[in-house]
Amino acid sequence: MQPKLLDKRIQKEITYYLPDKVTSQKLADFFAMFADKTRLRVISALSISEMCVNDLACVLEMNQTTISHQLQILRNTGLVTFTRQGKTVFYKLSTNKINQVMLSGVEYLGF
């Protein structure tokens, strides 16, 4: 099916840059990680320092179960990594690019 009103050059450019379905799904999954206010707060805290679940729960004034659940989701998507020190597990952002995405959102909203 050919668009009737779209310039062929523009159509070709759009087709070239348009992400395929697999990439689109991966992008949607990635941005879904920023669609939960608890995860946003966890990401914000971890952008400053690596932390254990108990410290995150204390700083964010939330229960440990809620924080653990959100950390599991963030781990499963690769946004957060962890290291063990004895019985304590410390979490951190997997890359500083996660923080850059957050900062872009804050800047976009004008905060």
Reported as a pLDDT band with limits 50, 70 and 90, residue 7 is confident
25 falls within a domain:
yes
pLDDT in tens, 17-53: 999 999 999 999 999 999 999 999 999 999 999 999 9
Task: Say how many domains are in the chain.
Answer: 1
CATH of the domain at 101: 1.10.10.10
35 falls within a domain:
yes
Q: What range does the domain containing 83 cover?
A: 8-109
2 falls within a domain:
no
- CA–CA separation, 111 vs 103, rounded Å? 10
pLDDT in tens, 52-106: 999 999 999 999 999 999 999 999 999 999 999 999 999 999 999 999 999 999 9
pTM for this entry: 0.83
- CA–CA separation, 35 vs 21, rounded Å? 21
